[in-house]
Structure 1
Amino acid sequence: MRSYLLRRLVGMIVVIFLVLTIAFVLVRLAPGDPASLMLGPDASPDEVAALRGRLGLDRPILVQYATFLGNALQGDLGRSLFFNQPVLTVLANRAEPTIFLALFSLMVALVIATPVGIWAAYRRGSFLDQASITSAMLAASVPSFLTGLIFQRYLATDLGWFPASGYGGAGADFAERMRHLVLPSITLGITNSALILRFTRASMLDILGEDYVRTARAKGMTERRVVLRHALKNAGIPIITVIGLTFALLVSGAVVTERVFNLPGMGNLVVNAVLRRDYPVIQGTLIVVAGLYVLVNLATDLLYLVVDKRVRY
């Protein structure tokens, strides 16, 4: 097990190194001079030269790369041109809505997808099975912004059950801020439940046809014990994999939903950074999101050891 963890840690280091390199190269491959693009067409040559010196763009490319890697390894991802703050500080200030939105959306998706997927596999070919597949395809096909607008129209505006947008005022407490996340969480949860539902159903179908499941039934075990203890436990690895990937996708891909509900999260921050040409924020977000994917993959691999002890061997 130690060698397994060591290999995973080495793989993480390699991936992070590649991500840092790609982030560095992408900014340098942008058309035109980054300093000129950041300042706009009205900037004077002196202002462009000053910004180039401030960003270190006037130094040799290998020196820039070494400096960038050294700063990144120390937690310095640069300074936002718009906020005039360290990039990590800017991202930390916007992380709360995005993280909680991803967690609540994943909870909604699991509540919908897991029991329906298990029951659909158990009742293969039934009306519920066909209805669940159709509903999953429909949920995956409808864009999240359209679902969000429909919920805003009826659940927020007409019925007044939830806030239509925003994240509470400046003095809003934690409960009020979480209340503003209910509607966008339902929107994202319904959209992302489709993939988890289909994986759960497919994994359960494979396991329910195994010989040891038929043997368990022949021994007189109850159907509930057979499905939940034997089948679901052995079908857990593919389900855990898709859950981990879904959480990472929710964190990095909630841009549209945050824009629809006007949430001050990381997705909204990246869109505004692109419009403002705030390249340090874009570059820092890319690195942080890639690091999150690496950590989620590591956590998923460790969960394999908990769910199925055979993975240790």
Structure 2
Amino acid sequence: MTRYVIRRFLGMIAVMFTVVTIVFVIVRVAPGDPAAVMLGPDATAADIATLREKLGLDRPLILQYLYFLGQLLRGDLGQSIFLNMPVLSALAERAEPTFFLTLFSILIASAIALPVGILAAYKRGSLFDQVATTLAMLAASIPSFWLGLIFIQVFAVRFSWFPVSGYGGPDASFIVRLSHLILPATTLGIVSSALITRFTRASMLDVLNDDYVRTARSKGMGEFQVVMKHAFKNALIPVLTVIGLTAALLVSGAVVTETVFSLPGVGNLVVSAVLRRDYPVIQGALLVIAALYVLINFVIDMLYLVVDPRVRY
């Protein structure tokens, strides 16, 4: 087990080192002078030279890379040009909406997908199975921004059940902010549930006809216990994998949904940074999102040890 944990941890470090290197190279190989691109066409030569010196772009490439690594080790992601504040602080201010949006979305997706996938596999070939598979394919093909706009039109505009957009004022309570997250979280949850449903169904089909399941039935064990304790538990590893990947994708892929619902999250910040050519914010956001992606996958790998004792050996 110790070897398994160490191997996964070293793999996580290797992936993050690769991501850091790629992010560093992308900014430096972009067409033109990054400082000139950030400041726009109206910038003077003196402004560009000042920014190049501030960003360290006037140094040799290897020294820039070493300085960049040193900044990251100190937890310094740079300074936002347009916000005039540390990138880490800007990301931290926008983290709450994105975190809760991702959390509620994955909870909604799992609440929909797991029961439907299990029941569809148990009733393979039935009308329920066919309808569930069709709806899963339909949900996977629906653009999240379109579904979000439909929800806004129906539930926010027509019925006035939920706020149209935003995240409440600075002093808004958690309940008020939760009401702003219901529609976007439901939007992402429905779209994300499609993949989890299909993986759950496929994984359950792989184990429902195994010998240990038939043995449990032959001993007179109830169907619910057979399906949940023996079949689903052994089918859980692929399901955990896809849930972890979905959660990681939601962290990085909620940009469009946050824009549609005007949520002041990380995705909205990244969109604004791209439009302003605020490279330090874009660079910092990429690194943080990549780190979260790798961390979520590491946590899922650790959950394998709990779900399947065979992994320990």
| TMscore range, shorter length | over 0.9
Secondary structure at the aligned position of 1:180 is classed as: helix
Once the two structures are superposed, what CA deviation does each residue of 1:142-201 show, in whole Å capped at 9, x if it has no partner? 101110011100111111111111001222122211110001000000000000000000
Distance in 2 (CA, whole Å) between partners of 1:215 and 1:171 is 59
Unmatched runs of 5 consecutive residues or more in structure 1: none
**Does the alignment pair 1:63 with 2:63?**
yes
> Which residue of structure 2 aligns with residue 204 of structure 1?
204
1:9 shift after superposition = 1.6
Distance in 2 (CA, whole Å) between partners of 1:305 and 1:165 is 41
> Which residue of structure 1 aligns with residue 32 of structure 2?
32
**Does the alignment pair 1:11 with 2:39?**
no
> Which residue of structure 1 aligns with residue 41 of structure 2?
41
1:16 shift after superposition = 1.3
Could you say what the CA RMSD is over the residues aligned between the two structures, in angstroms?
0.7
**Does the alignment pair 1:164 with 2:164?**
yes
Distance in 1 (CA, whole Å) between partners of 2:209 and 2:284 is 47
Once the two structures are superposed, what CA deviation does each residue of 1:189-244 show, in whole Å capped at 9, x if it has no partner? 00000000000000000000111111111111110110000000000000000000
In structure 1, give the amino acid aligned to 2:281. V
> Which residue of structure 1 aligns with residue 88 of structure 2?
88
> Which residue of structure 1 aligns with residue 22 of structure 2?
22
Distance in 1 (CA, whole Å) between partners of 2:124 and 2:148 is 32
**Does the alignment pair 1:304 with 2:294?**
no
Task: Give the paired residue count.
Answer: 313
> Which residue of structure 2 aligns with residue 223 of structure 1?
223
Q: How does 1:123-134 map to 2 (within 5 A)?
A: 123-134=123-134
Distance in 2 (CA, whole Å) between partners of 1:3 and 1:140 is 38
> Which residue of structure 2 aligns with residue 195 of structure 1?
195
Q: How does 1:252-291 map to 2 (within 5 A)?
A: 252-291=252-291
> Which residue of structure 2 aligns with residue 98 of structure 1?
98
Distance in 1 (CA, whole Å) between partners of 2:19 and 2:272 is 22
State the TM-score, normalizing by the size of structure 2: 0.99
Distance in 1 (CA, whole Å) between partners of 2:136 and 2:103 is 20
Distance in 2 (CA, whole Å) between partners of 1:234 and 1:25 is 43
Unmatched runs of 5 consecutive residues or more in structure 2: none
Q: How does 1:115-194 map to 2 (within 5 A)?
A: 115-194=115-194
Once the two structures are superposed, what CA deviation does each residue of 1:247-289 show, in whole Å capped at 9, x if it has no partner? 0011110011001000000111111100000000100111111
In structure 2, give the amino acid aligned to 1:127. L
In structure 2, give the amino acid aligned to 1:269. L
Percent identical among aligned pairs is: 66
Q: How does 1:230-249 map to 2 (within 5 A)?
A: 230-249=230-249
Distance in 1 (CA, whole Å) between partners of 2:178 and 2:32 is 42
Distance in 2 (CA, whole Å) between partners of 1:204 and 1:4 is 26
Distance in 2 (CA, whole Å) between partners of 1:149 and 1:170 is 25
In structure 2, give the amino acid aligned to 1:304. Y
Distance in 1 (CA, whole Å) between partners of 2:295 and 2:145 is 28
In structure 2, give the amino acid aligned to 1:123. K
> Which residue of structure 2 aligns with residue 293 of structure 1?
293
1:47 shift after superposition = 0.7
In structure 2, give the amino acid aligned to 1:51. L
Segment of structure 1 superposing worse, 9-18 or 31-40: 9-18
In structure 2, give the amino acid aligned to 1:25. V
